[in-house]
Chain A
């Protein structure tokens, strides 16, 4: 791709961000903090009910300086990333097989759909019992929660590969691997990444659920500690860190999308 093209893409994504109101985020965040500050200052709530923004900020810097926060972030993040990697690998592999074989799909679909009616919080204790309170049970919970959206989007993405392009690959005598690499992967990528975007945020939820059920480390564990000690500011710190983590993962997928899918025409709804 040449320079003009890259510049055009950059301009398009700029316009896209603008149309999504991304530039309004700092403004709305500032407003929210202001309201929070006023309520905690003049509302007469004790600090263990509603800590002020300054208190939370102090708790945050404290926890950071102790090195405690970084440790728990690292624990939760590694659970999330390992769970994502595992869940996405399993879901996309199974999705590929299901998309290829309708018999296989009809065979497995009832189980997959039924499994979705069980809330993850109900399975989490079971996984902790089976796999212990360590890393493994959390990774499995994350992987499970990520599994479904990625599986569905892999299938939908592969099914949407145009038949005419499949015919083209056949007429060019492409091998199965070449059809996969040159046609199926790029063609299914937009829908697949949509599933990954959902999965990335769900993985954070999965890790916290797992840590709630049984863990001695991680941000979910930190929330439990804070609650037990009426250290509500610490709970706030953990929640905000989790939000930041989910947003960062989401943003990462969006960046990958902008990079890989720059060939797609962005609907120009800015004006």
Chain B
């Protein structure tokens, strides 16, 4: 789909394995059997995502962004079309695909550490190994000292970091994030964005992130997809040609403003 973009990624990072795209979405449509003729939420969506790309999905609320992400996670089956993950059709949830929900979605009865080790426990990985991996991630997301805290004692930003750590702990290839910073204040949000970039660079993941904040999309992404109002179609598929690593100062550059402006017009 976007060759210039994949070559851009190749420049910054040598590809570790495979050479096809990580994710191919083919003519995907989804209709909820709600109304008489059904509620058409997604229509003829096609795009592909290269390994280690950071893709942001923008769109007005109700345009089907969450639905699209849930399809990509294997949590919903599309009405027509298909999702191909590393050359194979996606039939259901997979461990290689991590999901970060809009709400932090932590288990309130588990401590920070126990929340992070949950995916490993489900895979019967021994507690000592799991705890060690959790500790690495606690350090990565900057929650040292809170390992034994319960979610009720955390701020919104800290909860979201735990959620990200939980999605990273089993080392999925692809990370899907549904407005992960939606509930945070503007400053925390910017800081979390920078941290997500740092983590993405450290861990080398393919990331698809839904957001409704244009500057956030421009700052984070290699590429931005814009969905139209329902039924959601891809209205714009645009590379973000800002150099990496992204610096806070870039948010105020002319190029940044230009890209943001084009996205703003595309959303309408």
The reply to whether chain A is a binding partner of chain B is yes
Residues of A close to B148: CB separation below 8 A: 1-2, 5
- Among A229-256, those with CB < 8 Å from B are none
Q: Which residue of A lies closest to B124 (CB)?
A: A178
Q: Which residue of B lies closest to A5 (CB)?
A: B148
Does A171 belong to the interface (CB within 8 Å)? yes
Residues of A close to B97: CB separation below 8 A: 171
Give the docked Cα–Cα distance between A174 and B122 (Å).
6
Does A173 belong to the interface (CB within 8 Å)? yes
Residues of A close to B111: CB separation below 8 A: 1
- Given A168-B101, A170-B93, A172-B119, also A263-B152 (CB < 8 A): yes
Contact B121 A171 (CB under 8 A): no
- Among B109-125, those with CB < 8 Å from A are 109-111, 118-119, 121-122
The interface residues of chain A, by DSSP majority, are classed as helix
Residues of B close to A183: CB separation below 8 A: 107
Contact B121 A167 (CB under 8 A): no
Residues of B close to A265: CB separation below 8 A: 152
Does A112 belong to the interface (CB within 8 Å)? no
Contact A173 B73 (CB under 8 A): no
Chain B, interface size category, equals 20 to 34
Give the docked Cα–Cα distance between A2 and B112 (Å).
13
- Given A5-B148, A173-B94, also A263-B108 (CB < 8 A): yes
- Given A165-B107, A182-B121, A183-B107, also A171-B93 (CB < 8 A): yes
Max chain A Cβ within 10 angstroms of own Cβ: one of B110, B121, B122:
B122
Residues of A close to B99: CB separation below 8 A: 167-168, 171
Does B188 belong to the interface (CB within 8 Å)? no
Does B261 belong to the interface (CB within 8 Å)? no
Max chain B Cβ within 10 angstroms of own Cβ: one of A168, A178, A182, A186:
A168
The interface residues of chain B, by DSSP majority, are classed as loop
Q: Which residue of B lies closest to A265 (CB)?
A: B152
Contact B75 A167 (CB under 8 A): yes
- Among A147-173, those with CB < 8 Å from B are 162, 164-165, 167-168, 170-173
Q: Which residue of A lies closest to B119 (CB)?
A: A172
- Given A172-B122, A182-B118, also A167-B95 (CB < 8 A): no
Residues of B close to A171: CB separation below 8 A: 73-75, 93, 97-99
Contact B105 A164 (CB under 8 A): yes
Q: How far is the CB of B164 from chain A (nearest CB, A)?
A: 13
Residues of B close to A162: CB separation below 8 A: 105
Give the docked Cα–Cα distance between A173 and B110 (Å).
19
Give the docked Cα–Cα distance between A167 and B178 (Å).
13
Contact B122 A173 (CB under 8 A): yes
Q: How far is the CB of B69 from chain A (nearest CB, A)?
A: 11
Q: Which residue of A lies closest to B111 (CB)?
A: A1
Q: How far is the CB of A193 from chain B (nearest CB, A)?
A: 13
Residues of A close to B122: CB separation below 8 A: 172-174, 178, 182
Give the docked Cα–Cα distance between A178 and B95 (Å).
15
Residues of A close to B9: CB separation below 8 A: none
Q: Which residue of A lies closest to B148 (CB)?
A: A2
Does B150 belong to the interface (CB within 8 Å)? yes
Give the docked Cα–Cα distance between A167 and B75 (Å).
7
Q: How far is the CB of B145 from chain A (nearest CB, A)?
A: 11
Residues of A close to B170: CB separation below 8 A: 172
Contact A170 B118 (CB under 8 A): no
Residues of B close to A2: CB separation below 8 A: 148
Within 8 Å by CB of B118, from A1, A164, A172, lies A172
- Among B82-104, those with CB < 8 Å from A are 93-95, 97-99, 101, 103
Contact A167 B101 (CB under 8 A): yes
Residues of A within 8 A of B (CB): 1-2, 5, 162, 164-165, 167-168, 170-174, 178, 182-183, 186-187, 261, 263-265
Q: A165-B105, A168-B101, A172-B118 are in contact. List 8 more A-B contacts (CB 8 A).
A: A164-B103, A167-B75, A171-B75, A172-B95, A182-B122, A187-B109, A261-B109, A263-B109
A-B contact pairs, 20 of them (CB 8 A): A1-B148, A5-B148, A164-B101, A164-B105, A167-B70, A167-B101, A168-B101, A170-B75, A171-B73, A171-B99, A172-B95, A172-B122, A173-B93, A173-B94, A173-B122, A182-B122, A186-B107, A186-B109, A187-B109, A263-B150
